[in-house]
Amino acid sequence: MAELFYDDDADLSLIAAKKVAVIGYGSQGHAHALNLRDSGVDVRVGLREGSPSREKAENEGLKVRGVADAVKEADVVVVLAPDQVQRHVYADEIAPNLADGATLVFGHGFNIRYGYIKPKDTVDVIMVAPKGPGHLVRREYADGRGVPVIVAVEQDVTGNAWPLALSYAKAIGGLRAAGIKTTFTEETETDLFGEQAVLCGGASQLVQYGFETLTEAGYQPEVAYFEVLHELKLIVDLMYEGGIAKQRWSVSDTAEYGDYVSGPRVIDPHVKENMKAVLGDIQNGAFAERFINDQDAGAPEFKAARAKGEAHPIEATGRELRKLFAWVKPSDADYTEGSA
């Protein structure tokens, strides 16, 4: 059984006694910085010269510094730049300015797990990884709740790494939900697998194939959009509340029978073999190497895949349809501006 931790297991005064620098002000960075600030922690945000995030952070009343200056001021440095640039930021600006006995905090274990960052042996290295998107981490905190976090210690030179990790997790609101103890390796491999096989990769491909199958058979794209994309949220909400069993209880018997008969026909055992191959490439480092090599080359594969996804007809159908929804506040505007 996993070890779970809640607010009562953590001492907020540990992180409140530190000076914290949050490097990056994107999806996770803004959420960590604002939640820490609202929990009474002395926080500054470290950003590159000319970062478009500077104004956003300053408008929230946060102190903003260059990355090197933020690190020099801090006892705790939270690395929330994109995974593919973290090693450069670490080598150029963090490591030379990081005091002995300081703590490095990660929101995902990628760079440590695959060895792109080898932290100095004079600092503590911890992870507090919310299991949800940054914008939800902020919204839940503001509403008095929290997104569950997973917490790990990679390097403990001070002997205080674990209580500080719990204190940090409490300050961002994670322990209002729960903290689960893990390792950098387990977090990295399961996070990448989940997003690739099920949450992002699997679900996106499933929705696109469903939309293509219906529209190629001559059904209206707007009707297909409702059936394969819009309703997915309603189904997932039921799964979130009460597992797959509650979802099956709530849908009609017709739908439930169709689930049993056709689910395994669409997602056949071959798909599980494919998932195992995906997991294999995560474990052996092939995925990480492909991602970083592509990024270092200017991200041609990544950009082409993104353009192809954006050009899929389901996106145009959805954009038009969502304007007509009375009950969904359209968020296409945030998204096109780049929500991070």
Q: Which residues bind Mg ion (CB under 5 A)?
A: 191, 195
The single residue among 15, 21, 29, 98 that binds ligand NAD, judged by CB under 6 A, is 29
Give the span between the Cα atoms of 165 and 278, in whole angstroms: 31
Residue 27 · residue 56 · CB < 8 Å? no
Q: Please name which of 151, 161, 229, 173 lies closest in space to residue 35, comparing C-alpha atoms.
A: 173
Find the shortest distance in angstroms from Cβ 165 to ligand NAD: 15
Phi-psi region of 306 (alpha: psi -120 to 50; beta: other; left: phi over 0): alpha
Find the shortest distance in angstroms from Cβ 249 to ligand NAD: 31
Give the span between the Cα atoms of 149 and 44, in whole angstroms: 22
In the sheet where 124-130 sits, what is the strand order?
Answer: 4-5, 179-181, 149-155, 124-130, 103-106, 76-79, 19-23, 42-47, 63-66
Q: Which of 32, 108, 230, 270 is catalytic?
A: 108
**Residue least distant from ligand NAD (Cβ):** 26
- Identify the DSSP state of 327: S
Residue span binding ligand NAD (CB under 6 A) among the ranges 34-42, 125-133, 215-223, 263-271: 125-133
The answer to whether 194 contacts ligand NAD (rule: CB under 6 A) is no
Give residue 265's Cα distance to chain centre. Answer: 31
Would the annotation count 53 as a binding residue?
yes
Nearer to ligand NAD, 14 or 80 (CB): 80
List the beta bridge partners of residue 23: 46, 79
Which two structure tokens, joined as six digits, stand for 36? 């820490």
Which two structure tokens, joined as six digits, stand for 231? 């309703």
The answer to whether 129 contacts ligand NAD (rule: CB under 6 A) is yes
Beta strands 42-47 and 19-23: pairing type? parallel
Residues 34-63 within binding reach of ligand NAD (CB under 6 A):
47-48, 51, 53
32 is catalytic: no
Residues 236-295 within binding reach of ligand NAD (CB under 6 A):
none
Residues 73-102 within binding reach of ligand NAD (CB under 6 A):
80-83, 85, 89
Nearer to ligand NAD, 25 or 225 (CB): 25
The single residue among 24, 119, 173, 174 that binds ligand NAD, judged by CB under 6 A, is 24
Element (H, E) at 215: helix 201-216
Give the span between the Cα atoms of 128 and 144, in whole angstroms: 19
Residue 161 · residue 153 · CB < 8 Å? yes
**Residue least distant from Mg ion (Cβ):** 191
Would the annotation count 132 as a binding residue?
no
Residue span binding ligand NAD (CB under 6 A) among the ranges 2-10, 128-136, 251-259, 294-302: 128-136
Would the annotation count 195 as a binding residue?
yes
Whole-Å CA distances, 165 to 25, 104, 146:
20, 10, 16
Would the annotation count 65 as a binding residue?
no
- Given ligand NAD, Mg ion, none, residue 173, with its beta carbon under 5 to 8 Å by kind, binds none
Residue 88 · residue 30 · CB < 8 Å? no
Nearer to ligand NAD, 128 or 238 (CB): 128
* Residues near ligand NAD, by CB under 6 A: 23-29, 47-48, 51, 53, 67, 80-83, 85, 89, 107-108, 129-130, 133-134, 340
Residues that constitute the known binding site for Mg(2+): 191, 195, 227, 231
Residues that constitute the known binding site for NADP(+): 25-28, 48, 51, 53, 134
Q: Which residues are catalytic?
A: 108
